[in-house]
Amino acid sequence: MKWYPWLRPAYEKLVESYQAGRGHHALLIQALPGMGDEALCYALSRYLLCQQPGGPQKLWALPWLSAYAGWHASGLLHADAG
């Protein structure tokens, strides 16, 4: 996965929103193929998982996220093109 320089401002803005307690429970990230949207999602998910004591095993124990447990195995959904 390649990290592009234009991803940094979006990544920093998203991380700042979570640090300030304003992070949303769901994000829709859309980009043209090859623009780095998967790299951005991966980087943000790594940041969020690292912020949870106990790692990913404890993530689903969070009150705001436990309601969604079991809806989708990976938590990362890809919209079909077309």
pLDDT tens digits for 67-79? Answer: 555 555 555 556 6
pLDDT at 9 exceeding the cut of 90: yes
pLDDT at 37 exceeding the cut of 70: yes
pLDDT at 15 exceeding the cut of 80: yes
Instruction: Return the DSSP state at 75.
Output: S
Per-residue confidence band for 52, with pLDDT thresholds at 50, 70 and 90: low
The CB-side HSE value for 47 (13 A sphere, CA atoms) comes to 16
Question: Reduced to 3 states, what is the DSSP secondary structure of residue 1?
Answer: coil
Give the separation between CA 15 and CA 21, rounded to whole angstroms.
Answer: 10
Closest residue by Cα to residue 22 from 11, 14, 30, 31: 14
Chain length of the chain? 82
Mean pLDDT to the nearest integer, 32-47: 90
Q: Which residue type is seen at 73?
A: A
